[in-house]
Amino acid sequence: MNDFSVLIGGKAGFGIDKSGAVIGGLLNKLGLRVYIYRDYPSIIRGGHTFSIIRASKERITTHRNKVDFILALNQDTFDLHKARLKDDSVIIYDSDSVKLEGLSDKARSIGVPIAKIIKEEGASEIMRNSCIIGAFVKTTGITWELLDGIFRKEFTKETDLNLKIARRGYDEARELTKIEPISQRILPLLSGNQAVALGLIKAGLNTYISYPMTPTSPILHYLAEAADEFGLKVIHPESEIGVMLMSLGFSYMGKKVAMGTSGGGFCLMTEGLSFAGMSELPIVVVMGQRPGPSTGLPTYSAQTELHFVLNAGQGEFPRFVVAPGDTEEAYFWSAQALNLSWKYQIPSIILTDKNLGEGVFNFDIDSIPDIKETAPLLWDRKSPYKRYLNTETGVSPLAFAPEKDTVIKVNSYEHDESGITTEDTGLSVLMAEKRLRKEKYLQEELDKFNTVKTYGNKESEVALLCWGSNKGVCVEAAESLGLKVIQPLVLWPFPVKQFQEAAKGAKKFICVENNATGQLSQLLKISGFNVDEQILKYDGRPFSLDELEERIRGMGK
């Protein structure tokens, strides 16, 4: 089995997320490359939740609609997903609660009396997942020893009981196929959120502040658990407004700070973002996109906040905006966002979404360019301190309170070089131009990075344009259809020269986005590039590989 997918589903509260992690861990230990897609409603219990775990010999970062295995813990899982089954797929199900009506004659099935086993062992309902995973392991010829090791790592509570129930599921099943181990380097599995967190730490993160909001809440949880190990302050204030204002305070004190939010939270932060622009305080915002307006679809995904973050805040001030497409890019560019924010004393915004943030991918640290923490420009203490000293680059030397015999004044009002409030016309122009001048030097530095990437058939006259988490699905679709892919990573300042170079030879451009208005297409037009066609999806779900290939073929490509 070179490329196959496993879907496990049940009610919220059935431990589906943990199940996906366990199955993904099993397949990863066999040397396969793994991607896990999570789909769940915005309720704690009930509803329907599922994960698709795809495994392949080659690196993958997207899922397929069709699956080779369905692990059905309830009737909804079978009813809602039976259309995903192939002719020879295998369904493993709870024979005490699931009826397989309408199943193909060629499909293979294994029923396990999960409810009976749970009752006999006096176990909790959430352990149903352990039982069906045990059956899956037997069905696919995976060794019990491997499952035992994964369970002991993943289940820190009632480990022995979970293993006992898994063994009963294992004994109820029979081997129908064999997933063979592959001899290649095993790469760890990370979510996009974890990669962002680790990248920030790599660049010297001192403090992380966040109010929990899907899909960036896992960064808060992850860093809270790692706080002691990395010497971090991790704070959960009362609101997103509190998050921004507290972050500005930490920045003023010289602490490298980042915050996490989503669109609704970022709305409340925009006045503080403008404060950062005027006061030249370096901050980093991780902005995890999800569908709106307002509450929208809070546990699903979108690419709808591009123009929001490009234009957020009143007035004009420079900012850095980047949209990584996988875990390696999330790690590298989160670190660079923190570095650039402190080097140029500007806000940096890392645009992610639910698909990247909560998706789970293999992570190859060896493929990432070397990252070094960038030291900010500091006051030399030789002349009287001016917080907003007008320099060639627009970047003023920093000093941090408490500095003896020195006033360090930041001001959200227009001000002179010392930070004293002014409404003088000449000074107002001088300071506005000082702030905006930073963007020129930021752009020159970004030219040293690979800010626009190309994939697929570089000679193709048809190019797919994508940003963020659509990278993976576009690259796979392009490779199968002989197309080129162009992926701008940095979205502001937009890398015009590198995009021009990447676009050479292409005559038709198709923009693939998870929004209804073509936001990358609009940005490209502003930057002097025209898009010929668009493939847009805005139901909160990502493109699957099957779906995108079909839509591209439907355009005659």
Residue-wise DSSP of 308-319? HHHH-SSS----
239 has pLDDT over 90: yes
Do 228 and 327 share a domain, yes or no? yes
Residues 168 and 198 in one domain: no
Same domain, 201 and 327: yes
Please indicate, yes or no, if residue 259 is contained in any of the structural domains. Answer: yes
The residues facing 415 across adjacent strands are 421
Q: Are strands 508-513 and 533-536 parallel, antiparallel or unpaired?
A: parallel
CATH number at 505 reads: 3.40.50.920
Let me know if residue 396 belongs to a domain: no
Shared domain check, 127 and 61: yes
* 4/117 Cα distance (integer angstroms): 29
DSSP state for residue 555 in the 8-state scheme: T
Q: Given a cut of 80, is residue 215 above it in pLDDT?
A: yes
Q: What is the residue-averaged pLDDT of the chain?
A: 96
Q: What is the pLDDT of residue 157?
A: 86
Query: Is 168 part of a structural domain of the chain?
Result: yes
| Cα(70)–Cα(110) distance, integer angstroms | 10
Structure confidence at residue 247 (pLDDT): 98
Handedness of CA 179, 181, 185, 191 (dihedral sign): positive
> Among 341, 367, 393, where does a domain finish?
367
Sign of CA dihedral 188, 189, 192, 194: negative
Which is higher by pLDDT, 510 or 104? 510
Read off the tokens for 490: 């940095």
Q: Where are the beta strands (DSSP E) in 325-451?
A: 347-353, 360-362
Give the domain extent around 202: 189-367
* Region for 383 from its dihedrals, namely left if φ exceeds 0, alpha if ψ lies in -120 to 50, beta otherwise: beta
What is the SS3 string spanning 414-481?
CECCCCCECCCHHHHHHHHHHHHHHHHHHHHHHCCCCCEEEEECCCCCEEEECCHHHHHHHHHHHHHH
Query: What is the arithmetic mean of pLDDT over 374-392?
Result: 95
Query: Residue 47: its pLDDT value, please?
Result: 86
pLDDT over 80 (residue 46): no
Tens digits of residue pLDDT in 74-110: 999 999 999 999 988 999 999 999 999 888 778 899 9
Q: How confident is the model over 5-17, as a mean pLDDT?
A: 92
Domain end, chosen from 319, 352, 367, is at: 367
Separation CA 22–CA 135 (nearest Å)? 13
Verify that 287 and 357 share a domain, yes or no.
yes
Residue 294, number of CB atoms within 10 A of its CB: 9
In the prediction, which pLDDT does 341 show?
A: 98
The per-residue pLDDT for range 29-45, each reduced to its tens digit, is 999 999 999 999 988 77
Type and span of the H or E element at 534? strand 533-536
State the pLDDT at residue 405. Answer: 85
Structure tokens at 126: 């959430």
CATH number assigned to the domain comprising residue 302:
3.40.50.970
Domain end position, chosen among 348, 367, 386: 367
Query: d(Cα 332, Cα 434) in Å, to the nearest integer?
Result: 29
Helix (H, G, I), strand (E, B) or coil at 323: coil
Asked whether residue 422 is assigned to any structural domain, the reply reads: no
pLDDT of residue 61: 95
Are residues 245 and 312 both part of a single domain? yes
Does the pLDDT value for residue 538 go beyond 90? yes
- The DSSP bridge partners found for residue 320 are 348
Q: Of the candidates 100, 55, 59, 44, which has an alpha carbon nearest to the alpha carbon of residue 77?
A: 100
Let me know whether 314 and 463 are in one domain: no
The fraction of the chain above a pLDDT of 70, given in percent, is: 100
Higher pLDDT, 404 or 337: 337
Of the listed ranges 38-52, 266-280, 335-349, 353-367, the one predicted with least confidence: 38-52
Bridging pattern class, strands 347-353 and 462-465: unpaired
- As a whole number, mean pLDDT of residues 49-69 equals 97
Task: Say if residue 461 is in the same domain as residue 350.
Answer: no
Same domain, 157 and 200: no
3-state secondary structure of 539: coil
pLDDT reported for residue 557: 59
Residue 421 domain-assigned (yes or no): no
Same domain for 65 and 203? no
In the predicted structure, residue 270 carries a pLDDT above the cut 90: yes
Specify whether 205 is located in the same domain as 286.
yes
Whether 433 maps to a domain, the answer reads no
Residues in CB range of 362: below 8 A, 6 or more apart = 28, 33, 34, 35, 59, 187, 188, 189, 190, 327
pLDDT at 156: 83
pLDDT tops 70 at residue 135: yes
Match 């590298």 to its residue by tokens: 332
Query: CB of 211 within 8 A of CB of 262?
Result: no
Same domain, 199 and 148: no
Number of structural domains (the chain) is 3
Question: pLDDT digit string (tens) for 421-430?
Answer: 999 999 999 9
* Range from 11-20, 306-315, 321-330 carrying the lowest mean pLDDT: 11-20
Residue 106 has a pLDDT of: 80
Global pTM reads 0.96
Q: Are 94 and 114 in contact (CB under 8 A)?
A: yes
**Is the CB of residue 5 less than 8 Å from the CB of residue 37?**
no
Distance spanning both ends of the chain, measured CA to CA: 29
With CA atoms as reference, report the closest residue to 14 among 90, 53, 72, 58: 72
pLDDT score of 2 more than 90:
no
Report which residue type is found at 130: S
Does residue 32 belong to any structural domain of this protein? Answer: yes
**If you count DSSP H runs as helices and E runs as strands, how many of each does the chain have, helices first?**
18, 20
Give the CATH number of the domain where residue 47 resides. 3.40.920.10
Helix or strand or coil: residue 4?
Answer: strand
**Residue 378 domain-assigned (yes or no):** no
Mean pLDDT of 176-188: 95
Q: How confident is the model at residue 556, as a pLDDT?
A: 73
